[in-house]
Structure 1
Amino acid sequence: MAPFDLPAYLDRIDLPVAPAPDLGGLAAVHRAHRLAIPFENLDIPLGRGIAIDGPSVFAKLVKRKRGGYCFEQNSLFLRALHVLGFTARPLLARVWLLATATPPLTHTLNLVTIEGREWIADAGFGGSFSPPLPLEDGAQTLAPDGTAHRLILRDERTWMLERAGDPGATDGRSAATRDWQAQYSFTLDPVEAIDLELSNHWTATRPDTRFTTLTIASRVMADGFISLFDRQLSVHRNGQNDSRLIETVADYREVLIGQFGLALADAEVEHLFHQL
């Protein structure tokens, strides 16, 4: 595998210097990554596969200034953590958003060990930003859009990350109610590269997953969250919610390129818009 180009990655996430491999450094690189690189699944409706090997992910998310979904985002984030000197490994999770039965393992996150203490750090969930959380029952954190997250130990092996807010949303809408919703569950079982490949393939190709039936983009902002589901644009900022329907290709282009910062060709934007 090609060496990881740390200066290019730091430039992509707008960090002027490499952070130290401590908790402050983890928080800094995690937040910078989430603010800089949007979550999106656009290669699926564009008819392309989702490659999660290191060079492919780096070329797409860093060099070509695209975004990606969890298997891409956390692959890049994990490689960066290793180069920065962190001890980290991937985990697999089950996403419980509106689930009516036990969901499959369609999400990945990272487990980071700092001075003997374990933390979860997720750079690839398409929802409100959750800063690093200590792997401790009852641990809580607060997102910039007001969403609270907490970690619950459900049994001897299973952890559940919960989110305060609307059960049908992944951002801070209705977060003030503190009505806790299951976001995703995970265990600390070892995860191999082939496990990630399998989960990624299932998620990106099965006809009835949200990633093969919807065109999705979202971005964490310093004071909120912006999301696009097909033509529906939603902005949650400073406790206010705004939503509108995108009607034209020109508007769609401005949103994807101007608001999400995605480097897309005109032909790609037009293809995405007309297949919605």
Structure 2
Amino acid sequence: MTFSLPAYFARIGYQGAPQPDLATLRQLHLHHSCAIPFENLDVLLERPIVLDDDAVFTKLVSAGRGGYCYEQNALFSRALETIGFEVQPLAARVMLMQPETMPPRTHRLLCVTLEKERWIADVGFGGLTLTAPVRLDSDAEQLTPHGAVKIVKTGSDYLLMRQKEQQWLTLYRFDLTMQYAADYLMANHFVSTWPDSHFRHHLQLARQLPDGRINTLFDTTCTRHGGATQHQTLSADALYALLPSGFRLRLDDPQHGITRTDFRQLIARLASAKQSLP
């Protein structure tokens, strides 16, 4: 299906008059993050993650589904380029879990240049997804609708950091090396099929809310962040009902829909795998 900017705007609830400027970038970034959830359901359902423009548009816009970074930032990049923004595709090494050795580049993000000033845009990092573009060439704390972030330069690399409970967490490390479709194709295949990939062992969903809170789902535990954090462990049927109401996922599309039976089986597999761990 050919990309449609009006259809994309309808999906994210944007009703402005877009221009390739900072105000539009900020509005689109927030609307996208609050409307299209981060999710890895297709990986767990053994469905291929297809990254060409038409496939991403069909799944995330027409079918009302979500996706992870390779899909989310592909869609966002296409929308920005259609409006007239200058966008450079980048890749990052995820540092959130403090790996002992340098991890591979498995995260997709964007650099947007506006009047010779560079901004990092990223609508696909789970519950820690940015909800506003971040100025690249500044190490000052920058406020977003969902928390404070900053970018620290280290040699030729940059660290994207987020404040959480008075501490600064490094989310990922990146440089400005241009990425091509083949780079994302290879990395996407790795994270969606590698047996040890966390995307293959845990159900992960996240949606930023317009009021500053965040809904996340990890396996069967749903958490609402912001104010008093609330955790709730739910049954498969309760989780299935929550996907449309809490995460704005459509489940009835003929191609990209998810039946209750398939979802129950997915949750049962996760539970079985967890019980078999030593």
Counterpart amino acid of 2:202?
L
Once the two structures are TM-superposed, the CA of residue 263 in structure 1 deviates from its matched residue by 1.4
Q: How many residues align?
A: 260
Counterpart of 1:255, as a letter, is L
1:66-215 paired onto structure 2 within 5 Å? 66-98=65-97, 99-130=99-130, 131-145=132-146, 147-155=147-155, 157-165=156-164, 174=165, 177=166, 179-215=167-203
Change (3 A) 1:143 1:17: closer
Residue 269 (structure 1) aligned with residue 263 (structure 2)? yes
In the alignment, is residue 251 of structure 1 matched against residue 238 of structure 2? yes
- Aligned-pair CA distance for 1:268: 3.2
Is 1:235 aligned with 2:229? no
**CA drift at 1:215:** 1.0
Letter in 1 for 2:136: L
Query: d(CA) in 1 for partners of 2:101 and 2:243?
Result: 34
SS of the equivalent of 1:127 reads helix
Task: Give the AA of the match of 1:252.
Answer: L
How does 1:26-37 map onto structure 2 within 5 Å?
26-37=25-36
Q: Which range moved further: 107-116 or 16-25? A: 16-25
The letter of the residue matching 1:273 is I
Residue 3 of structure 1: CA displacement?
4.0
Please say if residues 237 and 260 of structure 2, whose CA atoms lie closer than 8 Å, have aligned partners that are also in contact: no
Alpha-carbon distance in 2 for matches of 1:197, 1:59: 18
Q: Are 1:252 and 1:273, in contact at CA under 8 Å, matched by a contact in 2?
A: no
CA distance in 1, matches of 2:142, 2:228: 21
Percent of aligned pairs with the same residue? 39
Q: Which amino acid aligns with 1:250?
A: D
SS of 1:270's partner is helix
| 8 Å CA contact retained: 2:36, 2:60 | yes
8 Å Cα contact 1:19/1:28 also seen in 2: no
Secondary structure in structure 2 of the residue aligned to 1:44:
helix
Kindly tell me: are residues 45 and 129 of structure 1, through their superposed partners in 2, closer, same or farther at Cα, counting changes over 3 Å?
Answer: closer
Answer yes or no: is the 8 Å Cα contact 1:78–1:110 preserved in 2.
Answer: yes
Q: What's the CA shift string for 1:190-249, capped at 9, x where partnerless?
A: 111101111111111111121111111110012211111111111112x21111211x23
CA distance in 2, matches of 1:19, 1:150: 27
**What SS does the corresponding residue of 2:238 show, helix, strand or coil?**
helix
**Residue of structure 1 equivalent to 2:214:** 225
In the TM superposition, structure 1's runs of 4+ consecutive aligned residues that sit over 4 Å from their partners are none
- Equivalent residues of 1:14, 1:36 under 8 A apart: yes
> Which residue matches 1:17?
16
Letter in 2 for 1:119: W
More helix by share: 2
Q: Is the 8 A contact 1:164 1:180 kept in 2?
A: yes
Instruction: Work out the CA distance in 2 between the residues paired with 1:228 and 1:221.
Output: 14
CA contact (8 A) 2:73 2:124 kept: yes
How far is the alpha carbon of 1:141 from its aligned partner? 2.1
Q: Which runs of 5+ in 2 are unaligned?
A: 252-258, 271-278
Q: Report the secondary structure of 2:179's partner residue.
A: coil
Asked whether the 8 Å contact 2:142–2:148 carries over to 1, the reply is yes
Relative to structure 1, is the Cα distance of residues 151 and 94 closer, same or farther in structure 2, using a 3 angstrom cutoff? same
Q: Which residue type is aligned with residue 268 of structure 1?
A: D
Q: CA deviation at 1:129?
A: 4.1
Write the letter of the residue equivalent to 1:136.
D
CA distance in 2, matches of 1:271, 1:63: 26
**Contact in 2 for aligned 1:66/1:262 (Cα 8 Å):** yes
